[in-house]
Amino acid sequence: MRIGEVAIRAGTSVKTIRYYERIGVLNEPRRLASGYRDYDVEVLERLRFIRASQASGLRLGEIRGIVAFRDRGESPCLHVRDLLTRRGEEIDNQIDALRRARDIVDQLVARAEGLRVRDCSPSAICHLIPGDLESRRATGRQDKME
């Protein structure tokens, strides 16, 4: 198959396929005498694997490592399990950070409900957002904002 057909069948772009080849996630195919790339049908399975891996939160560098295992004839499953475990932990940390951010936003909205324009100081941009907000967020301090 030529690259355009692969792109259509895989639901991706020619540019993406070329990029995957450049970074080593896809092996470069053989070339025809005309210089065109000539792909085997197996490339479609690899492209499906790449997309599914990305959907599970894996990064292209990690995916490159996974396919390298397979290209060497080794099973990547234990490596994939470790990657997914770490990614799950990263997601948990992101969720915790988002919850802390949400709590702060809720506190700011509650603070804004009592807004009195006359309380705004010309020397401050907006009195609703306290200057120590970033340190509160970084430390996870949830004390009530005044």
Residues of the chain with CATH 1.10.1660.10: 1-75
- Show pLDDT as tens, one digit a residue, over the chain (146 residues): 999 999 999 999 999 999 999 999 999 899 999 988 899 999 999 999 999 999 999 999 999 999 999 999 999 999 999 999 999 999 999 999 999 999 999 988 988 887 777 777 777 777 778 777 776 556 655 555 55
User: How far is it, in rounded angstroms, from Cα 23 to Cα 117?
Assistant: 55
Three-state secondary structure of the chain: CCHHHHHHHHCCCHHHHHHHHHHCCCCCCEECCCCCEECCCHHHHHHHHHHHHHHCCCCHHHHHHHHHHHHCCCCCHHHHHHHHHHHHHHHHHHHHHHHHHHHHHHHHHHHHHCCCHHHCCCCCCCCCCCCCHHHHHHHCCCCCCC
pTM greater than the 0.75 cutoff:
no
For the domain with range 1-75, which CATH number is right: 3.40.50.1820, 1.10.1660.10, 2.60.120.430, 1.10.10.60? 1.10.1660.10
Counted residue by residue, the chain has a size of 146
Beta bridge partner(s), residue 99? none
